[in-house]
């Protein structure tokens, strides 16, 4: 259970260009469900996911992961939580060019110190699961958009996180690839993962894998559908 209590996020506080991205959100996220944050550009979806995923800190309010309070955690503890609990799929995928698909997938697990052979095997298993095993040795810049999407998913799963956070994952994909991604996310839900998606793509929001739709507008929750 992820619990947000009166969370606010202000950028450039006290300056002329001060901007309130999140304005006092209270929210409970149900585990092992797919929750979609839906809303227009600038509604605070990405900021909210960054706060939940411990990539940014709120200006006020508290975020609880199970019983653990996250917002007061010193950075060295937050890194551990981020690594073990959350897997990220970014809008632009943010894969590292110049290295192979396999190395990209293994990258988030390097700080854990797992022996390379077992880590490599796990990464290969994930790539096989996502039907991209044959591209393991290929450099990132040589693969297609659809393949990059699956590499991004594999990378998000390498540390076996409980929560997958996907920010506009279908923004640069055609319908076929978008549906493929939705299917992958559905499989992750079946495996017991909590999936959080920020999207305004109807194909994602109206998908049958989605359990909970939260409508965001102007940094607030405008409505919820279960």
Partner 1 sequence: MIFHPAIIALYMSSLLMGLMILYAASYGVRIQRLWDITSGSDLQLILERRTYLISTILTYVFAFELISFFLYIYTADHLHTLFVGAMCAAGTLKVNGYGYPALILKMVNFMAAGLWLIMNYADNQGYDYPLIKKKYLLLLVVTPLVLAEVFLQTKYFLLLHPNIITSCCGTLFSATNKTLTGDIAALPPVPMEFAFYMILTANAAAGICFYLKNRGGYLLGGLSFAQFIISIMAILSFISPYFYELPTHHCPFCILQREYGYIGYPLYAALFGSAVSGMGVGMLMPFQNIKSLAETVPSFQKRLALVSVILTIAFMGIVTYQILFTDFILQS
Q: Count of residues binding partner 1 (CB under 8 A)?
A: 17
Contact region with partner 1 (CB under 8 A), list: 33-41, 46-54, 70-78, 97-105: 70-78
CB of 14 to partner 1, least distance (A): 11
Q: Using CA atoms, how far apart are residues 212 and 217, in angstroms rounded to an integer?
A: 16
Q: State yes or no: residue 96 binds partner 1 (CB under 8 A).
A: no
Q: State yes or no: residue 175 binds partner 1 (CB under 8 A).
A: no
Q: Which is nearer to partner 1, 21 or 130 (CB)?
A: 21
CB of 163 to partner 1, least distance (A): 19
Q: State yes or no: residue 1 binds partner 1 (CB under 8 A).
A: no
Geometric angle at alpha carbon 19, from 57 and 88, rounded to 5°? 40
Chain positions 23 to 62 lying near partner 1, rule: CB under 8 A, are 57-62
Hunting for tokens 């040795």 — which residue is that?
137
Q: State yes or no: residue 71 binds partner 1 (CB under 8 A).
A: yes
Q: Are 35 and 195 in contact (CB under 8 A)?
A: yes
CB of 59 to partner 1, least distance (A): 6
Q: Using CA atoms, how far apart are residues 183 and 170, in angstroms rounded to an integer?
A: 12
Q: Which is nearer to partner 1, 60 or 96 (CB)?
A: 60
Hunting for tokens 């076996």 — which residue is that?
160
CB of 181 to partner 1, least distance (A): 35
Q: Using CA atoms, how far apart are residues 52 and 49, in angstroms rounded to an integer?
A: 5
Contact region with partner 1 (CB under 8 A), list: 47-55, 65-73, 107-115, 128-136: 65-73
Q: Which token pair is 62?
A: 């508290």
CB of 164 to partner 1, least distance (A): 24
Cβ of 76: how many Cβ atoms within 10 Å? 7
Q: Which token pair is 169?
A: 């994952």
How many Å separate Cα 56 from the centre of its chain?
13
CB of 42 to partner 1, least distance (A): 23
Q: Using CA atoms, how far apart are residues 130 and 104, in angstroms rounded to an integer?
A: 15
Q: Binding residues for partner 1, per CB under 8 A?
A: 5-8, 57-62, 69, 71-75, 77
């Amino acid at each position: 259970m992820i619990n947000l209590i009166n969370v606010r996020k202000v950028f450039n506080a006290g300056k002329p260009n001060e901007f309130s991205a999140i304005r006092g959100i209270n929210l409970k996220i149900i585990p092992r469900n797919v929750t979609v944050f839906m809303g227009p550009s600038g509604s605070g979806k990405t900021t909210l996911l960054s706060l939940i995923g411990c990539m940014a800190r709120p200006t006020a309010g508290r975020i609880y992961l199970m019983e653990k309070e996250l917002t007061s955690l010193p950075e060295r503890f937050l890194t551990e939580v981020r690594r073990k609990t959350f897997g990220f799929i970014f809008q632009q995928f943010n894969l590292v060019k110049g290295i192979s698909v396999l190395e990209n997938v293994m990258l988030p697990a390097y700080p854990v110190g797992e022996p390379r052979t077992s880590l490599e095997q796990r990464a290969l298993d994930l790539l096989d699961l996502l039907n991209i095993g044959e591209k393991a040795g290929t450099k990132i810049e040589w693969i297609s958009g659809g393949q990059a999407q699956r590499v991004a998913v594999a990378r998000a799963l390498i540390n076996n996180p409980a929560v997958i956070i996907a920010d506009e994952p279908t923004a640069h994909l055609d319908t076929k690839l978008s549906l493929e991604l939705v299917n992958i996310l559905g499989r992750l839900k079946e495996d017991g993962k909590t999936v959080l998606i920020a999207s305004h793509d109807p194909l994602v929001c109206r998908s049958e894998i989605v359990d909970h739709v939260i409508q965001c507008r102007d940094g607030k929750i405008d409505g919820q559908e279960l």
